Amino acid sequence: MSLLALEEVVVSEGRVVILAELKGLKEHEETIENNLKIRIKKIKKRGFYKPIIADKQTNVILDGHHKWNAAKEFGLSKVPTIFVDYFNDSGVQVNVWPECGKDSITKEEVIEMGLSGNVFPPKTSKHSFDFEIPSLSIPLEKLRDG
């Protein structure tokens, strides 16, 4: 996956927002159609305003499935992304959403699903991070090829 650094966008604790190739990222969870429509409207109006969070080893999306799908709708080739060391970073946690039909979920299950080409139902995994996810303002034109 080719990565391009954004100018002067660094998150606390050395976490950097980079532009990652959209096609290289992998989903592990379905989106909710109405939430996707809302996200598309918001991104169209404001540009990309929050990065996607993904595992640096596998490129599986941990947070930002609606943003990733919105980027596909806009025909973007790149998306702002923070890559984390999912298995070794104790500041990245995963739980289940209430009423999702599962009692628990592991990081291994999330990655296996993302690599399988299948997806969990919407709102199955709920990730939490011990770092602040920065606000951005990236026009969509900067995320297209050419």
CATH code (residue 108)? 3.90.1530.10
Is 29 a residue of the active site?
yes
- The phi and psi torsions of 101 (rounded to 5 degrees) equal 95, -5
- What pLDDT shows up at residue 14? 72
- What pLDDT shows up at residue 119? 95
User: How many domains in the chain?
Assistant: 1
Would residue 142 count as lying in a domain? Answer: no
- What pLDDT shows up at residue 11? 56
Residue-wise pLDDT for 72-97, tens only, equals 999 999 999 999 999 999 999 999 99
Would residue 143 count as lying in a domain? Answer: no
Q: Which domain range does residue 80 map to? A: 3-134
Would residue 93 count as lying in a domain? Answer: yes
Instruction: Kindly report the pTM of this predicted structure.
Output: 0.88
Would residue 36 count as lying in a domain? Answer: yes
Task: Report whether pLDDT(6) > 90.
Answer: no
- Which one from 13, 29, 99, 112 is the annotated catalytic residue? 29
Instruction: Categorize the per-residue pLDDT at 12 as very low, low, confident or very high, splitting at 50, 70 and 90.
Output: low
